[in-house]
């Protein structure tokens, strides 16, 4: 079935009218990028999916706050980012996980059980990156993730976070420096 | 890793620090279709205006009305079946109040007698009293003075009375007079 895909605005109008198909298409369009951002901020799949759900719900319920100011994608990622931090703070307040550590990005719940060596290696890399990301200050991590995983430009990140583009660049620069140091044994110089 | 396009602001583009291969390796784990479907369903449940809500509301109201009607019918039926055993206050028959008969004219025992006014002390002059004979003169020493005072109930205390019957005579009575030495006269009143 060809044709031009509907615009975000068209889909949002359909969602506002209660169109389930419109919501499904909008969700398919942005669920992966929202999930990547949430996962990088939370470190595990279950919490990331919860954050995606809360982010979509809050974004759709507060559409009047973003209209005319940004795209739906930047608005959605901003809300997903907030939902992720809210969820992360809630998790930190909960009791320690089985290893005596707290369920946070510092102590991620294993996502899946790898079945092969390659998958084991991938899972290990992912775990190290999650731990390294958790070492970053919250604002630095959010800025970096929105740029690196959310695919937002510096300008979009600046608009989403309400900061200057210079601050965005500075945060991303220092985030990369710290990640490079934390992952030095896994990642060679570019 | 994001491949930054030239920024419209003219700021220098940040070079990628990590090779794409490494970044692809540490992508978040893939989410199964069933999990995506569950998330999407939850979002729809929380966001979409349920078009069936009015219908549900009407159904709810209809059920509520049916339940209310059933309750009314049951209560009414219970009242009807319970009717014979219940004590119902019977209406009080209206009774005309008994009207007292017209007052009868009481027979006046003295109607055949003329009503005579009592003489006052100044209108009677006692000329002589036989000492010790009349019980109606009390108090004085003999001979009595010219004027006598009519004794009152506070002056005479009757101790005993012996009816005279149909003899036409005055009843025989024993009285004690306490007149303080003042001569008094009293008369018995027929009853």
CATH of the domain at A125: 1.10.1740.10
Confidence grade of residue B130 (pLDDT, cut at 50, 70, 90): low
- What is the number of domains present in chain A? 1
Average pLDDT for B185-191: 57
Does B45 score more than 70 pLDDT?
Answer: yes
pLDDT, residue B12, reads 36
Closest partner residue to A45 (CB to CB) among B17, B29, B51 is B29
pLDDT of amino acid B88: 64
Residues 6+ apart with CB under 8 A from A20: B44, B48
Confidence of residue A116 (pLDDT cuts 50, 70, 90): low
Q: Which two tokens stand for residue B130?
A: 């036989």
Backbone angles phi, psi at B172, to 5 degrees: -85, 120
Residue A1 has pLDDT above 60, yes or no: no
User: Two tokens at A165?
Assistant: 């583009």
B17, part of any domain: no
Question: What is the per-residue pLDDT for A5?
Answer: 85
Q: Would you say residue A3 lies in a domain?
A: no
| Residue B65 falls inside a structural domain | yes
Structural element, H or E, at residue B161: strand B156-162
Among all chains, which residue has been given the structure tokens 């615009």? A7
A118 close contact with B: CB closer than 8 A = no
Q: Is B20 on the interface with A (CB under 8 A)?
A: no
Contacts of B45 in chain A (CB under 8 A): none
Say whether the peptide bond before residue B113 is cis (omega within 30 degrees of 0): no
Q: Residue A18: is its pLDDT beyond 60?
A: yes
Q: Any idea what DSSP says for residue B17? A: -
Q: How confident is the model at residue A165 (pLDDT cuts 50, 70, 90)?
A: confident
In the sheet with B149-150, reading across from the earlier edge strand, the strands are B137-138, B184-185, B149-150
Does A31 touch chain B if contact means CB atoms closer than 8 Å?
Answer: yes
CB contact under 8 A, B43 and A165: no
Cβ separation of A153 and B47 shorter than 8 Å?
no
Supply B167's token pair.
Answer: 């003899």
Q: What is the DSSP letter of B20?
A: H
CB within 8 Å: A53 and B27: no
Nearest CB to B48 within list A18, A45, A53 = A18
Residues of B with CB below 8 A from A186's CB?
Answer: 22
Q: Is residue B124 part of a domain?
A: no
Confidence band (pLDDT; 50, 70, 90) for B86? low
Q: Which residues of B touch A59 (CB under 8 A)?
A: none
* A 77-116 near B (Cβ less than 8 A): 111-112
Judge whether residue A107 has pLDDT over 60.
no
Count of domains for chain B: 2
B43 and A15 in contact by Cβ < 8 A?
Answer: no
By residue range, what is the domain housing residue B60? 50-85
Best residue in A20, A30, A114, A178 for a mutation probing chain B (most B CBs within 10 Å): A20
What is the DSSP-derived secondary structure letter of residue A94?
A: S
State CA A16 to chain mean position distance. 25
Query: What average pLDDT does chain B have?
Result: 69
Residue A32: its H or E element: helix A20-42
Considering only CA atoms, give the Rg of chain B.
62
Mean pLDDT (chain A) is 80
Q: Is A56 on the interface with B (CB under 8 A)?
A: yes
In a domain, B103, yes or no: no
User: Residue A101's domain spans which residues?
Assistant: 8-182
Overall residue count recorded for chain A in this entry:
190
A129 or A120: whose pLDDT is higher? A129
Residue B45 structure tokens: 């449940």
- How far from A171 is each of A133, A143, A158, B19, B128, CA to CA, in Å? 13, 7, 11, 20, 153
pLDDT at position A160 over 80: yes
Q: pLDDT grade, residue B85 (50/70/90)?
A: low
Q: What is the pLDDT of residue B95?
A: 75
Compare B3 and B21 and report the one with higher pLDDT: B21
Structure tokens at B147: 């004027």
- Cα–Cα distance list, A97 to A49, A110, A134 (Å): 19, 11, 17
The answer to whether A154 touches B4, Cβ cutoff 8 Å, is: yes
A30 pLDDT higher than 90:
yes
Q: Which of A89-98, B39-48, B99-108, B147-156 has the lowest mean pLDDT?
A: A89-98
Which residues are B160's β-sheet partners?
B174
Residue A190: what pLDDT? Answer: 43
Give the range among A82-86, B49-53, B163-167 with minimum mean pLDDT: B49-53
Specify if A2 maps to a domain: no
CA distance B99 to B122: 52
Average pLDDT on B12-30 reads 61
Look at residue B186 in the predicted model and tell me its pLDDT: 66
Instruction: Please tell me the predicted confidence (pLDDT) of residue B69.
Output: 87
Buried b / exposed e across A113-147, counting CB within 10 Å, b at 16+? Answer: eeeeeeeeebbebbebbbbbbbebeeebbbbbbbb
Q: B46: Cβ–Cβ under 8 A, 6 or more apart, which residues?
A: A57
Distance CA A181, CA B113 (A): 150
For residue B140, tell me if it sits in a domain.
yes
Classify residue A1: in a domain, yes or no: no
> Is residue A188 in a domain?
no
Residue A114 lies in a domain: yes
Is the distance from CB of B145 to CB of B126 less than 8 angstroms?
no
Spatial neighbors of A29 by CB under 8 A, at least 6 apart, are A8, A11
Q: Can you give the pLDDT at residue A143?
A: 92
Q: How far is CA A12 from CA A18, A125, B36, B47, in A?
A: 10, 38, 20, 12
Distance from CA of B54 to the nearest CA of A (A): 14
- Nearest by CB to residue A122, choosing from B14, B25, B40, is B25
Contacts of A122 in chain B (CB under 8 A): 25-26
Rounded to a whole number of angstroms, the distance from the CA of A147 to the nearest CA of chain B is 7
Question: How far away is chain B from the Cα of A139, in angstroms, using its nearest Cα?
Answer: 19
Question: Quick check: is A139 in a domain?
Answer: yes
Residue B62 has pLDDT above 60, yes or no: yes
């Amino acid at each position: 079935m060809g044709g031009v895909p509907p615009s975000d605005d068209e889909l949002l109008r359909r969602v506002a009218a209660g169109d389930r198909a419109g919501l499904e298409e909008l969700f398919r369009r942005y669920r992966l990028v929202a999930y990547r951002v949430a996962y990088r901020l939370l470190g595990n799949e279950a919490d990331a999916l919860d954050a995606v759900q809360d982010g979509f719900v809050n974004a759709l319920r507060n559409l009047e706050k973003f209209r005319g100011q940004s795209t739906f994608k930047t608005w959605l990622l901003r809300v997903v980012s907030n939902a992720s931090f809210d969820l992360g703070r809630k998790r930190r307040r909960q009791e320690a996980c089985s290893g005596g550590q707290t369920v946070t990005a510092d102590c991620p719940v294993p996502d899946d059980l790898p079945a092969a060596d390659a998958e084991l290696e991938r899972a290990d890399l992912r775990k190290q990156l999650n731990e390294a990301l958790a070492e970053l200050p919250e604002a630095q991590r959010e800025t970096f993730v929105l740029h690196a995983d959310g695919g937002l430009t510096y300008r979009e990140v600046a608009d989403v976070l309400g900061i200057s583009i210079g601050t965005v660049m500075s945060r991303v620069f220092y985030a990369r420096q710290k990640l490079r140091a934390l992952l030095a044994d896994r990642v060679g110089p570019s | 890793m994001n491949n930054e396009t030239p920024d419209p602001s003219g700021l220098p583009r940040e070079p990628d620090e990590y090779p794409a291969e490494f970044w692809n390796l540490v992508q978040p784990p893939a989410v199964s279709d069933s999990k995506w479907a569950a998330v999407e369903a939850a979002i729809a449940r929380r966001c979409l205006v349920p078009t069936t809500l009015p219908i549900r509301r009407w159904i709810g109201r209809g059920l509520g009305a049916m339940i209310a009607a059933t309750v009314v019918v049951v209560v009414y039926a219970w009242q009807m079946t319970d009717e014979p055993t219940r004590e119902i206050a019977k209406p009080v028959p209206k009774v005309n109040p008994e009207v007292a008969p017209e007052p009868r004219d009481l027979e006046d025992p003295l109607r055949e007698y003329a009503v005579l006014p009592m003489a006052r002390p100044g209108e009677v002059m006692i000329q002589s009293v036989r000492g010790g004979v009349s019980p109606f003169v009390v108090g004085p020493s003999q001979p009595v003075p010219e004027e006598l005072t009519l004794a009152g109930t506070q002056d005479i205390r009757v101790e005993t009375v012996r009816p005279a019957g149909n003899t036409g005579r005055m009843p025989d009575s024993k009285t004690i007079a306490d007149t303080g030495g003042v001569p008094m006269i009293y008369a018995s009143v027929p009853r």
